[in-house]
Structure 1
Amino acid sequence: MTDHRCFAPRGLEAFAAAYPGGPAAVRHRLHDHPLFAQEALAQLAERLPESHVEHSFGNLAVDQDPAGVRRAAMPVGEIVRTIDDNGCWMVLKKVDVDPAYAALIDACLGELAPVTEPRTGACRRREAFIFLSSPNSVTPFHMDPEHNILLQIAGTKTMRVYPAGDLSIVPAEVHEAFHRGGRHRNMRHDPAFDAKAQDHRLAPGDAVYVPVKAPHWVQNGPTRSVSFSITWRSDESDGEARLHRVNQRLRRVGWTPAAPGENRAADAAKVTAHRVAKSATATARRLLGRERERSAY
């Protein structure tokens, strides 16, 4: 009987040992999947909403100034079809709006569930991304708010991953601004950070788990690269985000809040207070909306 599992046998052992806080090398079985054929990806780019497709030239610095990023003047389908030599980098965002890719991410997360659910609860806000890049492209230094496994489909790349929560790499104020929104994802990189990093060299069939907000950057190899990223949120990622939002508000009124993890009782109180406040605000808005509807008659 054909084995249709997403991950290779014993491919999740390192993931199970590291989750949720540490990076881990993983093995997968999707590198020959027809959904990742070049023409299939070109057609996907053409039918996705414009807001789900981001692209630029890939000759970027590790700590690239967003103002210096340039885009190619080509249709998105053409960028995919000529990615081998057009010098571009592209991400297809939230491809799970397409039923075929949604089924694939669900299958992958189903295999991860025996590890993830007992530790961080149900996987929420499941999303899938596909990265395409020309030879030698760079994805600059940044961090993401989700748990993430990046599966290498075609070509090679090196992902350099830094410890999550190290305030000497990403200061508390940067975390807080990140959760406030409105800023570009690219961050300042100091080569001194590299002493704390792990390099994950990826070829087809390789994958890497990247913990929530573990900073990283990516160097593509000498041929075009295709990678599939499956992401999810959890109770842990939700709590971490709420902590930074509360700390940002405290800092704004003159307090110097403890960093997440320094005082677990205070952390729990902040998360609970934020949830209660957001719930009360949402309830008040619903009630106000109903009153407005009544007054309109």
Structure 2
Amino acid sequence: MNPMSAVAAIEPVDQSAFAANFPMQPFSLRHHLAGNPLFTLPNIIDLVRHLPADSIEYNSGDAAIGQDASQTKFIDLDPEQVVRSIETAGAWMVLKRVEQHPAYRAVIEDCLNALARAHGHADLEEAGFEDLRGFMFVSSPNATTPFHVDAEDNIFVHIHGEKFFTICDNRDGSVVSDDAIEHSLTKHRNVTYSADFEQKSKCYSLNAGDGVFVPYLWPHWVRTGSQYSISMAVTWKTKAVMRKNDIFVVNSLLRRFGFPQAAPGRNPALDTVKLALFRSVKAVVDPLRKSLAMRALIRKLVLGRDANYYMKAKQAA
């Protein structure tokens, strides 16, 4: 793989909108990744070969906006074949944690440093950006990513083809409830969709060089156009986001044992106790995550028996 990282600066399309809305509302942005050789199919195939199996997920792109996760259609191809035949495979693929490869890590850091500076910060540390990650999407024409929420802030950069990215405003909790968010973050990302949500949504039409900021926990769904598509979600978490995510996980664990839980923030004192206990255990468990088998076991113990659903799907394909 060519280790060269092209200039990866990103910038808001409307600086005043960015200044007013970040990080609470979406905004459009531009980037300079479309000509970067790291995001061509041959180099993506090389990346697939280097990523661990639990960093690769794919299925049919023929999905409903409100897709029932248990009814997801799979495809009978291995990961390299999916990328090689992406124009005709009818597939949707995500390569997770691409920052594991140094060249992609450099691109991700370039993007987020540019965002931090645009917001008046000297660097990532001053901006409070932690746990930097990259999720690359490689999709066939007319593929759908169902309605879901993400557990981090995200600048979504589009690199090849055309994408229609619809983001729904859920700040009042009327679209996705706290319980549904907990399920999405700990079981499966898909959440229930209704056509009524269109009244609270905005669709961003993205071509190569376009992007959009997706705030933490804002539900969204995506459709590709008539060409195959390459995009990347460049994500980060703040300490506040990590705290809330950890409480969602603890609540899910306790709920499995029959203990009803209040959503994060409803009982701050109890949240603090739960968080301290969880992070004490997490500090012991995290060093064990080096092996694929151990990561799968930990996901199953913490998130439930279906936590490795995407690996099972790949093996069955």
Normalised-by-shorter TM-score class: 0.7 to 0.9
1:1-297 aligned at under 5 Å gives the runs 4-8=7-11, 14-114=17-117, 115=119, 121-179=127-185, 181=186, 183-242=187-246, 244=248, 257=262, 260=265, 269-278=269-278
* Structure-2 separation of matches of 1:239 and 1:20: 17
Aligned CA distance change for structure 1 residues 147 and 270 (closer, same or farther; 3 Å): farther
* Structure-2 separation of matches of 1:95 and 1:282: 23
Bigger-Rg structure (1/2) = 1
Kept in 2: contact 1:158–1:202 (CA 8 A): yes
SS of equivalent residue, structure 1 residue 136: coil
TM-score, length basis structure 2? 0.76
Deviation at 1:172, TM superposition (A): 2.0
* Structure-2 separation of matches of 1:47 and 1:225: 21
SS of equivalent residue, structure 1 residue 207: strand
Give me the CA root mean square deviation. Answer: 3.0
Deviation at 1:61, TM superposition (A): 0.5
Kept in 2: contact 1:143–1:185 (CA 8 A): yes
* Structure-1 separation of matches of 2:263 and 2:100: 39
Aligned pair count reads 275
CA displacement 1:247-296 (0-9 Å, x = unmatched)? 7769x6567x4775xxxxx665455444444456668x79xxxxxxxxxx
Aligned CA distance change for structure 1 residues 242 and 47 (closer, same or farther; 3 Å): closer
Larger deviation, residues 155-164 vs 141-150: 155-164
Kept in 2: contact 1:121–1:235 (CA 8 A): no
* Structure-2 separation of matches of 1:107 and 1:99: 12
Aligned CA distance change for structure 1 residues 189 and 9 (closer, same or farther; 3 Å): closer
Aligned CA distance change for structure 1 residues 245 and 102 (closer, same or farther; 3 Å): closer
TM-score, length basis structure 1? 0.81
Aligned CA distance change for structure 1 residues 273 and 80 (closer, same or farther; 3 Å): same
Which amino acid letter does the alignment assign opposite residue 230 of structure 2? V
Deviation at 1:4, TM superposition (A): 3.0
Deviation at 1:246, TM superposition (A): 7.0
Partner of 1:292: none
Kept in 2: contact 1:12–1:27 (CA 8 A): no
Partner of 1:289: none
SS of equivalent residue, structure 2 residue 10: coil
Kept in 2: contact 1:161–1:215 (CA 8 A): yes
Kept in 2: contact 1:120–1:235 (CA 8 A): no
Deviation at 1:165, TM superposition (A): 3.8
Deviation at 1:29, TM superposition (A): 1.1
SS of equivalent residue, structure 2 residue 179: helix
* Structure-2 separation of matches of 1:4 and 1:145: 28
* Structure-1 separation of matches of 2:78 and 2:71: 21
* Structure-2 separation of matches of 1:235 and 1:116: 19
